[in-house]
Each structure stands twice: as C-alpha cells, then as structure tokens.
Amino acid sequence: MTSLNSDIISAHLRTKSIGRSLEFFPEIDSTNSYAKQHLNTHGAVVLADYQFAGRGRQGRSWVSPKGQSILMSVVLKPEKGHPSLQIITLAAAVVIIDVLKGTLGIRAQVKWPNDILIHGKKVCGILTESALQGDQMHKIIIGIGCNVYQTSNQFPGYLKYPVTSLSLETETPVDRHLIIAEILNQLEIMYDSLIAGERAAIIDRWRQHCFHLGKPVRVIQGENVVVGNCMNINEEGALIVEDARGKIIPVSSGEIHLEQFV
C-alpha cells in the first residue's frame, strides 16, 4: 500500500477550479466534516487515507481500512441558482461510472440514488451535504467513498448488502491517483453543464446506468414502505414506482432494496 500523493493527482488535473486546492490527511475524522468546517473555496478538495469517523447516508458510518480506498470530499460554491442536492448526487454517480469505464474498463451501475455497484455489489457511495449561511445555500459538499484495494475479508461483517472493491473486479492494476484526478476532471465538466441547465441529459445518462429500472423494488422510508416496479426517474431525480394497483408513486427519499434481495 502506498500513501496518496497530492502532487501526482495535481499533475493529472485539467480543471479550472475543481481540485486546484487539494489537501491530504493521512488520517482525519471525516473528509466531509472537514470540508464543512474549513473549506470555503469553490472546487476545494480534501482527501484522506483513513477516516476514524467516516459518515455514510442516513446516519450510518463509513468504515474502511487505512490506505485501501478513495475517501474524498469536493466543495462546490454555486454563485446563484444552484442545482438541487439530489441532481448533484446523481451527476456525481454518472461521473464515477464513466471514470471506472474509461480508466479500468469496468462496467458499473447505479442503485438509486447514489450507490455504485459492480455485478450487483456496492463499490462506492456518495454523501452529498449542504451548509447554510442564514437561509442561503452556502456550499455543497460531495463526499465520495470508493473501495479500491480491499480483499473480501476486509469488509465489516455487519454489512447487510454485498460489497466489493475495484481490485477484486479487475485484473488491471488500480492507481488511486489517476482515478481521483479523472473524477475531478469529469466532475468539473458535469458541474459546468448542470449550471448551463443540461439537467435532462444528465438524468438520461443516469437512467442508462441504472441497476433496477423496470425491476421490482421495495423502498423503505422510515415507517413507510413503497413496493412496486421501478418505472423511471423524473427530472427532479425522484424515483417513479408503480405499485400493484397501478398507482404511480414518486419517491424522493429512502432506501431502495431490490425485491430479489429482500
């Protein structure tokens, strides 16, 4: 295992702002928490080799052994008319899938809203958060956690879903620096097109990568459970589910399970 080197990442960047300020910590509580508290420049990035309080969606923790993952947060500071967190999360998922294909030839898919899967196993998660100043959106933080070098016995035993790492899925040697730089390069292009109003095209790309379009799903929303066929995703990034009675239900939050895994 080699530690990350931010100079190598910078050498591969083709961006104007994303990743131009890049901080690396061998160890940190959580890159998202650090970005929330300390980073205020559009495009600033923080990376770590280990998080002792890594955070996942829905209050869960994100655990990964030292030096085995990509753990990074990117700060976006929209000037005005910012895209919704939902759309930014979907856009980030599309970027990661494109980068895995482009750099490693891996075909990954997305499980709504933000789990990146390879052969149905989770390899990467995205935690998008916002920070307010008064009632104004001050910044958006995209946190990316991607399993890279883990062997199958290095995942926490309590996880209720199948997991994998990039190294387990490809014969190609995986260089975290290149993947990180490419994610940042593509993220800037994606963000610029979102700001330019090209939301529909991004949603369309997300649909093409979706793991469960047309499949039976169960969406858990706290006490509420929606069961039906996943029909589509709408322009706001909500999942469209049709239940057994033919009722169309838009779902904008919750945890989705494929019926075959329930």
Which one of residues 36, 42, 55, 82 is an interface residue with ligand BTN (CB under 6 A)? Answer: 55
Judged by CB under 6 A, does residue 113 bind ligand BTN? no
Which one of residues 19, 43, 54, 113 is an interface residue with ligand BTN (CB under 6 A)? Answer: 54
Judged by CB under 6 A, does residue 143 bind ligand BTN? yes
Nearest 5°: phi and psi at 205? -65, -40
Stretch that binds ligand BTN, among 25-33, 165-173, 206-214, 250-258 (CB under 6 A): 25-33
- The minimum distance between CB 231 and ligand BTN, in angstroms, equals 24
Is the link from the previous residue into 162 a cis peptide, with omega within 30 of 0?
no
Judged by CB under 6 A, does residue 30 bind ligand BTN? yes
Stretch that binds ligand BTN, among 65-73, 81-89, 183-191, 201-209 (CB under 6 A): 65-73
d(CA 259, CA 262): 5
- The minimum distance between CB 246 and ligand BTN, in angstroms, equals 32
Question: DSSP secondary-structure letter at 96?
Answer: H
Do 68 and 150 form a contact (C-beta atoms < 8 A)?
A: yes
| Residue 22: strand pairing partners | 45
b/e code 45-60 from CB counts within 10 Å (16+ = b): bbbbbbbeebbebeee
Q: Give me the amino acid identity at 121.
A: K
- The minimum distance between CB 113 and ligand BTN, in angstroms, equals 10
- The minimum distance between CB 45 and ligand BTN, in angstroms, equals 11
Which of 40, 96, 31 is closest to 64 using CA atoms? 31
Q: Look at the block and give the residue holding tokens 């035993």.
A: 157
Stretch that binds ligand BTN, among 9-17, 139-147, 168-176, 201-209 (CB under 6 A): 139-147
Where on the chain is the footprint of ligand BTN (CB under 6 A)?
A: 30-32, 51, 54-57, 60, 62, 71-73, 115, 125-127, 143-145
